């Protein structure tokens, strides 16, 4: 009998080594993750976590660095909107070591698959979705083991945030307002091993995310120790009115610190001044309040890439990281017969499709590597007026189309398009 039992145990061990599923009672306990955001219960508004928020989780030997002792790395966990997180794929659930040894955990938000060498890439060009660029980090869960499977993670914001509450002195319609901050860090990296932000690798202009009525704007920025050279620009319409303010003029706020939200209450005046009052650092970390005045200017504001005046080209769209409701300009050169780039069909023929079109920087383009797919949503004027099935005469017309730059047919294309105008 002892021989039989020994054979059975060895058989189970062999199955476990081969990666097969064995009786759960013979496995180590699964990790139960709970997560909270330090300081406040919200990132922007609503509950602390939103449904389908995803984090990346690392487990390593206790007391040892991530690089050399990682046991599980970048495992995706998701939530239904509570503090409890579950593995996105059950078969990838993290379990404690069988021998009961202690482990530590590191985690970050939002989840990305393209993590290399434990370095998280940061790109702040696209501000349309604030939560998708709000980098959070947790490394507080230490010396955990299977005796207590509950792992509580405390996340902290690693970037800075500016919120603008905007109004016009004479209640002018601000629906065409754009807000830009110049000379801001746009790209950097975050070292998950040490929990530190690496030096900024690119600077440029960032367009704020502004609500439909332009009564509020917000942007997540890289922390800065020196605000000199950074300016806020408020541009109404096609430069109908332009306001400018240099951030370095405010002595009370001379840095953008991590985990800190800076709130400015902005009043725009038609008598050539704009007042930014009650500037506070709040919500994430409380700070001082300031009052500043910005002068109206006739200077040329920064280029707002993706505006109707300065639309994206097809080449720029192809290398974009995605933008919502921006303008793209190009020539209609064909369509796609199926949902792959290989199905690009130049010209207007009997096989053309009414559901999409191909846009290029030059007319008569036939190289699929130089075109982007454009979605033509049903029931929109964009589809009715531009599709090549009903409008073959639109071939080679130059157009501007407003939509979302996003993955389409596995490349960067233009989706959710509801507005267009001819550019020739």
With contact defined as beta carbons under 8 Å apart, do 344 and 408 qualify?
no
Structure tokens at 373: 């797919």
- b/e map 36-58, b = 16+ CB within 10 Å: ebebeeebeeeebbeeebebbbb
Query: Which secondary structure element, helix H or strand E, spans residue 11, and what is its range?
Result: helix 2-17
Q: Which CATH class is domain 314-422?
A: mainly beta
SS3 for 149?
coil
The alpha carbons of the chain give a radius of gyration, in whole angstroms, of 26
160-296 has which CATH code?
2.60.40.2630
Helix, strand, coil: what percent of the chain each, to 5? 10, 45, 45
Q: Which of 398, 354, 400, 166 is nearest to 269 (CA)?
A: 166
Q: pLDDT tens track of the chain, all 424 residues?
A: 333 333 333 333 334 444 444 434 334 678 888 888 876 444 443 347 889 999 999 999 999 999 878 999 999 999 998 889 999 998 999 999 988 899 999 999 999 998 999 999 999 988 988 888 999 999 999 999 888 778 999 999 999 999 888 887 777 788 888 899 999 999 999 999 999 999 999 999 999 998 877 788 999 999 999 999 999 999 887 777 888 888 888 777 889 999 988 888 887 776 555 565 544 444 455 544 555 445 566 667 777 778 888 899 999 999 887 788 889 999 999 999 999 999 999 999 999 999 999 999 999 999 999 999 999 988 899 999 999 999 999 999 999 999 999 889 989 999 999 899 999 8
- The answer, as to whether pTM is greater than 0.75, is no
- The CATH number of domain 31-157 is 3.30.450.20: no
Query: Which secondary structure element, helix H or strand E, spans residue 181, and what is its range?
Result: strand 177-191
pLDDT for position 71: 94
Q: What is the DSSP annotation of 297-354?
A: --SPPPP-TTSSSSPBPHHHHHT---EEEEEEEEEEEEEESSSSGGGEEES--TT--S
Residue 291 to residues 267, 279, 288, Cα–Cα distance (Å): 11, 6, 10
| Residue owning tokens 């559901």 | 355
Note the residue count of the chain: 424
pLDDT for position 351: 93
**How many of the other CB atoms lie within 10 Å of CB of 103?**
25
DSSP letter (8 states) at residue 247: G
Residues of the chain with CATH 2.60.40.2630: 160-296
Q: Which of 126, 134, 310, 300 is nearest to 208 (CA)?
A: 126
Q: Which of 151, 154, 35 is nearest to 102 (CA)?
A: 151
- Strands 136-138 and 70-79, by their bridges, are unpaired
Structure tokens at 370: 């130089």
Cis peptide before 178 (omega within 30 of 0): no
Residues of the chain with CATH 2.40.50: 314-422
Q: How far apart are CA 352 and CA 331, in angstroms?
A: 16
Task: Name, in order, each residue with C-beta under 8 angstroms of 17's C-beta and a sequence gap of 6 or more.
Answer: none
SS3 for 207?
strand
Residues of the chain with CATH 2.60.40.2620: 31-157
pLDDT, tens digit, for every residue of 6-52? 333 333 333 444 444 443 433 467 888 888 887 644 444 334 788 99
| Residue owning tokens 């975050």 | 190
Evaluated on CA atoms 382, 383, 387, 390, the torsion sign reads negative
DSSP letter (8 states) at residue 200: P
Q: How far apart are CA 41 and CA 333, in angstroms?
A: 50
With contact defined as beta carbons under 8 Å apart, do 109 and 54 qualify?
yes
């Amino acid at each position: 009998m002892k021989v039989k039992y020994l054979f059975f145990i060895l058989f189970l061990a062999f199955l476990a080594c081969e990666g097969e599923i064995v009786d759960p009672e013979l496995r180590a306990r699964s990790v139960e993750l709970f997560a909270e955001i330090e300081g406040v219960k919200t990132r922007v508004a609503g509950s602390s976590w939103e449904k389908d928020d995803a984090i990346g989780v690392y487990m390593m030997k206790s007391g040892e660095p991530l690089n050399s002792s990682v046991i599980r790395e970048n495992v995706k966990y998701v939530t239904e909107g509570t503090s409890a997180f579950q593995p996105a794929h059950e078969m990838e659930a993290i379990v404690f070591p069988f021998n009961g040894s202690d482990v530590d955990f590191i985690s970050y938000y939002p989840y990305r698959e393209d993590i290399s060498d434990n370095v998280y890439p940061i790109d702040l060009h696209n501000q349309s979705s604030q939560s998708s660029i709000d980098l959070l980090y947790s490394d507080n869960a230490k010396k955990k083991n299977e005796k207590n499977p509950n792992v509580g993670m405390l996340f902290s914001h690693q970037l800075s945030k500016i919120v603008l509450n905007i109004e016009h002195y004479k209640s002018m319609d601000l629906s065409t307002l754009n807000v830009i901050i110049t000379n801001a860090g746009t790209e950097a990296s975050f070292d998950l091993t040490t929990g530190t932000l690496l030096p900024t690798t690119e600077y440029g202009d960032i367009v704020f995310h502004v609500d439909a009525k332009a009564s509020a704007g917000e942007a997540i920025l890289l922390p800065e120790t020196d605000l000199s050279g950074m300016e806020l620009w408020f541009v109404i319409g096609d430069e109908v009115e332009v306001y400018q303010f240099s951030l370095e003029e405010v002595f009370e706020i001379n840095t953008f610190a991590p985990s800190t939200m800076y709130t400015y209450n902005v009043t725009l005046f038609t008598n050539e001044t704009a007042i930014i009052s009650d500037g506070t650092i709040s919500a994430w970390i409380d700070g001082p309040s300031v009052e500043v005045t910005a002068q109206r200017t006739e200077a040329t504001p920064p280029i707002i890439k993706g505006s109707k005046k300065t639309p994206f080209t097809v080449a720029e769209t192809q290398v974009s990281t995605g933008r919502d409701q921006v303008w793209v300009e190009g020539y209609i050169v064909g369509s796609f017969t199926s949902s792959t780039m290989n199905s690009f069909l130049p010209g207007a023929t009997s096989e053309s499709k009414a559901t999409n079109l191909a846009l290029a920087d030059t007319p008569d383009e036939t190289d699929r590597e130089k075109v982007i797919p454009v979605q033509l949503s049903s029931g929109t004027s964009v589809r009715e007026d531009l599709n090549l099935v009903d409008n073959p005469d639109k071939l080679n017309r130059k157009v501007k189309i407003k939509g979302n730059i996003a993955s389409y047919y596995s490349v960067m294309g233009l989706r959710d398009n509801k507005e267009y105008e001819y550019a020739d």
